[in-house]
């Protein structure tokens, strides 16, 4: 059995960022748009430039302890982090939950 170590949150952020602002990413987002033009479901596959800036801002202000335990932060911790970073708490919650799922997946 192979033991899988979780990737650092910074590395996960760069993985999420790979299609941001690309033609492919834009096409992907349009596939998931709702009637208001929002596409939260596609955020982890292709964040908008603004969403990516917000996520980078949040990760940048995380303490080393928060980064080490990012996959198990509570809703309250995520909300406080979003408030401190002055970003959309829903986007940060989606990102942190995506990271937690990524860390818990079977190799």
Tell me the C-alpha distance between 103 and 5, whole Å. Answer: 8
Taking residue 82's Cβ as centre, other Cβ atoms within 10 Å add up to 20
Cα dihedral 13, 73, 53, 51 sign: positive
Q: How far apart are CA 44 and CA 92, in angstroms?
A: 11
Average pLDDT score, the chain? 87
pTM listed for this prediction: 0.83
Q: Where are the domains of the chain?
A: 9-104
Question: Which of these ranges, 5-9, 52-56, 75-79, has the smallest mean pLDDT?
Answer: 5-9
Q: How far apart are CA 100 and CA 75, in angstroms?
A: 13
């Amino acid at each position: 059995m192979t033991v899988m170590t979780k990737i650092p949150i910074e590395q996960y952020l760069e993985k999420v960022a790979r299609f941001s602002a690309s033609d492919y990413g834009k096409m992907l987002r349009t596939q998931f748009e709702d009637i208001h033009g929002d596409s939260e479901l596609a955020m982890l596959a292709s964040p908008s430039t603004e969403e990516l800036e917000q996520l980078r801002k949040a990760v940048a202000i995380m303490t080393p302890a928060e980064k080490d335990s990012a996959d198990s932060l509570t809703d309250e911790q995520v909300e406080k982090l979003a408030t401190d970073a002055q970003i959309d708490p829903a986007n940060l919650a989606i990102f942190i939950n995506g990271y937690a799922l990524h860390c818990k997946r079977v190799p």
